[in-house]
Every structure is written in structure tokens, then in C-alpha cells.
Amino acid sequence: MSAYAEKNTAITGIGQSEVSRGSSKSALELTVDACMQAITDAGLTRADIDGVASWPGSDDNESGFSPVGTAGIQDALRLKLNWYAGAREAPGQYGAVFNAIGAIAAGMAKNVLIFRTMYEASARKKAFANSLVRGGQRQSGGFNWYAPYHTYAAALQQSLMFNKYVHNSGIKPEQVGQIAINQRRNASLNPAAVYRTPITLDDYMNARIIATPLRLYDCDVPIDGCTAIIVSRMDVARDCPHPIVRIEAIGSSMHYRNHWVQLDALDTQAQPKVAEMMWSRTDLKPKDVDMAQLYDGFSFHTINWLENFGFCEKYGAGDFIEGGTRIALEGELPVNTGGGALSAGRLHAYGAVHEACTQLWGRGAARQVKGDPRVVATSTAGGPLAGAMLLVKE
Amino acid sequence: MPTTPPSTSSDGMQPARALPVTDLDTHTFWTSGAEGRLSIYRCQDCAYYIHPPVRFCPKCESRNVAPEAVSGRGTITSFTINHQQWLPGLKVPYVLALVSIVEQDDVRLATNIMNCAPESVTMDMPVKVFFEQVEDLWVPLFEPETVA
């Protein structure tokens, strides 16, 4: 067994609820849909699940950001668990996966159910979903240094970082727009995506500016939905029906200031050291990667990751994505092949894992990448948070 | 001195500034504006400014740390011009920025840039602090250094 515990784990099943701009089901039922689908997909039953992990765990509010935690699904499915954790202070959304790897290595679980539920589409109809400012009270937590400055949404403080990147790199809006255009094209081939009508560069440029330089189509789409995956110990995974998708390497580091104002490098956020850690745990190199499912809460995160994973030079992403051909389905590095959060919906990095496995298992149908892809890089991002995984099909 | 961002469109009431919870360390930062000063924790042994404030110097591990008034001058490290009306009555556009104090580049403050046209704001622009009292706190805001 390798010194790196992740190599002794594999993703054995995936599930996704219906994804919509307003569901007729509760958040918990959507979670049940995705989780049961993932368990069945792995060839398992509820009785085989002995661990549950989620990020960030249940939010006790009406924001829709994370309405279901580990307790909710454990009880709904009457799971008998040896280990569970819904842990917010982690390397972004993949913190749940990293925790699961540790639990498996420690002998506490062999099949961990991991899920991420969002209910922001419905929440938005009643209130300001996922606002960074809570009305009627003084603000605490990670964003409180922004509180008095009319910083109501992640889009605003992330634009501070995006603008720094634009200033330092010289990237042009026509280049940035290729991320959204490419993903909408991919979404047009994905029946589960929420926005499927292709957009043009004119559409991108003419859409309203949210906060300079961030435009409407640079932003992910709030949805109601849930993604679930099963991470299994390798010996158990070998009995599951699908080809092994091994977690080849992870990046979970925090070598920077973990602070939404003081983070060291605004234009790269926390990604470089996370990518460095991931590459240090594998013999594979960026040139070995067949496709990338990169975090796209905002398109600028995807652009950041292209550079920080080493697919192109620092500040070279503008040239890399120019015209969109390299990142297209038939390009040298297909990116966000299901439409990503920008078009398929804000499943918050787990949509990316679901799409990676969909492609690796050859289930992409009209959007299937040719040539039997084997190696996928995937990532999370946002301010001081970042996490990365390299997935390899054996 | 205007106490709200520049307005180009709005009829309703500008939403009040939200306020942070303060504690034994952060209270000075949010109240020193009452004397017209911007106050930042500083190591009394190695002179390093420590923000957010805590009585521990990450450079020399000294616990001899105390708030000190700084010049109130800084430069814009990054900014965004917000156009989205997130709440009813919110006056747009306005500038959200990160300002580094001139004394030490890695002391960075979130703020609004006021008293100038949003489109006149640039990276590295010199700015100076002023304060707006909201309830019992004094919120540091910045304006171009060239404003008289």
C-alpha cells in the first residue's frame, strides 16, 4: 500500500438529483434521490454504507447554501455508521472527501457516502439567498471585516480578486468569455443542465456587469439539487461494478493566510500551493491529464486553475483559452464538459466530480470526450479556500 | 462629508451599513475613529503591524503588542465597481476596495472608496482614511488623497 492514503480509495458510485431553478421536492428528498442513486450505482445497499461526510454540514438558516447535513441523511436512510463528519473548516468543498480518505485509512469506514445539497433557487424566492450579511444582527465569522461596506454577496468580494488578476495578467474580456461560452456549448449536450441554449461572445459582452470586471455569465447559477458520491476502500471497490476510479492524489494544503481580506496573493488565491501538494503525491504531470473539471463558482476560478495546475503559464490562460478551441470537448484539454456550475448549475464542485466519473465511465453520451479519457484534474476554489484531486481510471 | 456612496439611481432608503461583532482585540479598530485616528495593533518589540488584531507577533512571538495610531494613508490593492442592486434602495454604482496601509503592505483593509467618481478609481491609487459613525462604532472609509 502506498504511503499516500488516497491511492487506497476509489470513487465507486455517483448520483445526482434533478437539478432545477425551483424544485417541487424538499432539499432532504433531493438528497435522498442523489444518495440512493449513488449507493445503487456502486452496487451497494444502505447496509454497506458505514461512513458519511459532507461539506459544510447543515446550515441552520434559510439561505439554501447547505440545508442538509450528515444527521439529516443518516436518519432519513436509517444508516448505521462507524464514522461521520460534516466539517466546514476544510480545504473547500472537497474537505469532505479528504476527511473520508482519512477515515478509511484509519479503519473507521470502508464505504463513505459524500453529498452536497444546494437549495438556493427556492431560497432566493423568499429572501436574499446566501447573503454574506445577516439582517438585524451584528456580523461574525469570516466575512465580518467586509460587513460595513455593502458587501452582500460572494460575487462582490471575489471581484476584488478577479480585478487584481485582470490587472496583473492583462486578460481581455473576450478571452474570459470563452469559459462561459464553452460551458454553455457543453451544457447544450447535457440533458440535466439547467441552461442549454448556446451563447455567443456578443451575448457574453452585452450581459450586465455585476461588479467590475465580473459579468452575468461569469457567475454560477443557483439551483436546487444534490450530488452524491461513494468513496470506497480499494479492496471493496474492486468488487464494485465500474472500472476503478482511483483518487490518485489530493491537494489540501493551507500555507497562506486563511483570511478573506488578508489572503496572500489576490490574483491566484490559495491555489498554487494546493496544486503543488497534489503534484507532489503522484508521478503524473499536467501533460498526462485528459480533461479538467475545474471549479467555476466564477469563471475566473477556472482561469486561475488552468494556470495553477500548470496547464499553461502564469498569466497565460487568456492566450490558452482564446477562441475556445483548446478547452472544447474535442480540444486538447476539455474543460467542464457537462456545462459546469455556470450552465449545469451550482452543485458546488461535486457536480465536477460527478461529471468526471460520468466521462471516465463513458456515460457522457452526446458530450462524451473521445479517446477513452483516463486522467481528470478537478478542483475547488474561492478566496483562501482551495482543494484539488487527480482521478485516474485503471 | 457625504456618508453614503455616490448615487446615480435610487428612490428608496440606502440600506444601513452592517456592523461587525467586536471583541477585546477588535474593538479598538472599530472605535478609534472617534478620535479621528486609525488604530492598528503593533509589536512593541519588532515594530511589526498585526492585523487582524491579536496580542501575538507572528514575526518574533512577542506578546508585547499594543494598538498604535497610523497615518491613515494607504494605497488601493484592488477594487471593484459594484453595479448590482443587491437590496432595495442600494445606491449604485459604488466602490468596494482593499486598501494597504502605507506603513506596511500586508495590513489590508476592506473599505469603500468615497467622495470620487467610481470610474476614477485605479489600482495603486493613494487614499486617506475618514470615519463614519454608525451606532457605537466608527467605520473607516477611504477617499482619494487629493480630495481637500
| Model pLDDT for residues A200-258, shown as the tens digit of each residue | 999 999 999 999 999 999 999 999 999 999 999 999 999 999 999 999 999 999 999 99
Res. A305: pLDDT tops 70 = yes
Q: How far apart are CA B43 and CA B68, in angstroms?
A: 10
Q: Measure CB to CB from residue B78 to each of A148, A163, A210 and give the nearest one.
A: A163
Average pLDDT over residues A290-304: 98
Residue of A nearest to B121 (CA): A212
pLDDT at B11: 52
B28 min Cα distance to partner chain A (Å): 14
B86 min Cα distance to partner chain A (Å): 7
How many interchain CB pairs under 8 A, A with B?
A: 112
pLDDT at B8: 35
Q: How many residues does chain B have?
A: 148
Average pLDDT over residues A373-383: 95
Cβ-defined contact of A214 to B139 (cutoff 8 Å): no
| DSSP symbol at A20 | B
Contacting residues for B6 by C-beta, under 8 A, at least 6 apart: B91, B93, B94, B114, B116, B117, B118
Q: A393 has which bridge partners?
A: A245
- Look up residue B90 and give its amino acid: L
Please give chain B's pLDDT, 148 residues, in tens.
333 333 333 457 899 999 999 999 999 999 999 999 999 999 999 999 999 999 999 999 999 999 999 999 999 999 999 999 999 999 999 999 999 999 999 999 999 999 999 999 999 999 999 999 999 999 999 999 986 5
pLDDT band at A60 (very low <50, low <70, confident <90, very high): confident
Contacting residues for A21 by C-beta, under 8 A, at least 6 apart: A121, A194, A221, A222, A223, A224
B119 min Cα distance to partner chain A (Å): 10
Least Cα distance to A390 among A251, A208, A186 occurs for A251
Question: Residue A2 is placed in which grid cell?
Answer: 502506498
Question: Domain residues of chain B, as ranges?
Answer: 27-144
Measured between beta carbons, the chain A residues lying within 8 angstroms of B79 are: 160, 163
Please report which residue ranges of chain A form alpha helices under DSSP H: 27-41, 70-76, 95-105, 120-126, 154-169, 173-187, 201-206, 234-237, 271-280, 299-308, 317-321, 340-343, 350-360
pLDDT band at A295 (very low <50, low <70, confident <90, very high): very high
Phi-psi region of A38 (alpha: psi -120 to 50; beta: other; left: phi over 0): alpha
| Paired sense of beta strands B126-134 and A9-16, if any | unpaired
Question: Residue A100 is placed in which grid cell?
Answer: 473520508
Q: B65 has which bridge partners?
A: B43
Measured between beta carbons, the chain B residues lying within 8 angstroms of A133 are: 18
% of chain A residues with pLDDT over 70 = 99
Average pLDDT over residues A107-129: 93
% of chain A residues with pLDDT over 90 = 92
Note the ipTM here: 0.95
Phi-psi region of A216 (alpha: psi -120 to 50; beta: other; left: phi over 0): alpha
Contact A336, A182 (CB under 8 A): yes
| Model pLDDT for residues A135-176, shown as the tens digit of each residue | 778 998 888 999 999 999 999 999 999 999 999 999 999 999
Cβ-defined contact of A150 to B17 (cutoff 8 Å): yes
User: What domains does chain A contain, in order, with CATH numbers?
Assistant: 5-126+222-237 (3.40.47.10)
Q: Is A145 on the interface with B (CB under 8 A)?
A: yes
Q: Is B129 on the interface with A (CB under 8 A)?
A: no
